[in-house]
Amino acid sequence: MRFPLRITMAVRHFCRDVDRARLVQRLRMDEQACREALTCGHFSIFHRLTPLLMPTQSGHHAPLLSADDMINLLSDLNHEEEFLEESVLLGCSNDFTQLFAIDLGNSDKAVLEKKLGGVFVKMQQSFFMLGGHDVALLSKGYALLKWHFNNRYSGTSGQLTKKDVSGSKRTCLTTGSILYPQMSPAVITQVSNGTLCLLARKAIFPPGLYTALAGFCEIGETVEAAVHREVAEEVGLKVVSVRYSGSQHWPFPSGSLMIGCQAKVHSSNTKLSLDETELEAACWFGKEEVRAALQAAVSAENIGGNNDRLCVPPPWTIAHKLIQEWLHEE
């Protein structure tokens, strides 16, 4: 029996996804296999948690150094090849190349930039300079590297911990207890009253940038309860309905799981009462203004300065998708 091509391709795609997942699992569990992968993988480079970006004709991208180039770079920096084991495993590409991230914060930044032909950029700034694939990879690298830096000592015993080769855990050298990287759940909520959508900004945002409301879930809360509480706390509105939309990893402050939701308030409920310790401003926006903001190209070059027009987060962010979803649904 012959299957249609589209079904055959779907099965092949499914099998490749399973194979990649199992390869990554094996590298996490088998330290020798992960050491071998370090000698043929590709590496994202960080310097004190700032990622390396390379200029291109259309903007910037996050380069991946081959293992050979990485080993040569370490030699130039007077590091032994074993320093590769300071890296963390990120996953593998579609062609099954193992992907890692490494922080070279002990080396001179200017020397590194000259050798590599790129520039180290703050993680937040890089979000407006890169596409979604690059950002997802760098976000995972940033969060894992930061977690390892913050957990060099056990929070229980106060003693040194040791990273495994893949970076998937740390073990206390005194008690043997194991620490695993964790994410903090947070809700990000697009609020609407049926005809208008509510967007807000913090004082640290670039001028003109507004986004959906967001906040961490508290212990004992459901996602729905967190949405109700955050909206009430930040803008003084009572939510009447909540619908889950999607999720996204977010590397700040130390690794978060952003749980995206759509929330409705009564159509007559538009009076805002801001928590000014959290927000600088919050406003209701209509469809045409939101549509124009979604269509505008958002980048590091055109956001900031004396910007009077509405700007929204880049297309690959869950905030952008929530705003877009509201526009299409309404």
Strands (E), 11-87: 42-47, 50-56, 59-61, 65-66
Phi, psi (degrees; rounded to nearest 5) at 324: -65, -40
3-state class (DSSP) for residue 140: helix
Please give the domain boundaries of the chain with CATH numbers for all domains. 5-150 (3.90.79), 151-181 (no CATH), 184-329 (3.90.79.10)
Q: Cβ distance 195 to 173 under 8 Å?
A: no
Q: Which of these, 27, 151, 39, 166, lies nearest to 101 by C-alpha position? A: 166
pLDDT in tens, 43-92: 999 999 999 999 988 889 999 999 999 999 999 999 998 999 999 999 99
3-state class (DSSP) for residue 265: coil
Number of Cβ within 10 Å of residue 206's Cβ equals: 16
List b or e across 256-284, with b for residues whose CB sees 16 or more CB atoms inside 10 angstroms: bebbbbbbbbeeeeeebeeeeebbeebee
Q: Cβ distance 65 to 76 under 8 Å?
A: no
pLDDT in tens, 92-102: 999 999 999 99
Residue 9's pLDDT is what? 44
Residue 253, preceding bond cis, omega within 30 degrees? yes
**Tokens 């130039």 sit on residue:** 76
| Residues of the chain scoring pLDDT < 50 | 1-3, 5-11, 300, 304-306
CA distance 87 to 44: 9
Q: Cβ distance 300 to 128 under 8 Å?
A: yes
* Amino acid at residue number 228: H
**Where does residue 207 fall: left (phi above 0), alpha (psi -120 to 50 degrees), or beta otherwise?**
beta
Residue 1's pLDDT is what? 46
> What sign does the CA torsion over 253, 259, 265, 267 have?
positive
Q: What is the DSSP string of 38-52?
A: HTT-EEEEEETTEEE
Residue 229's pLDDT is what? 98
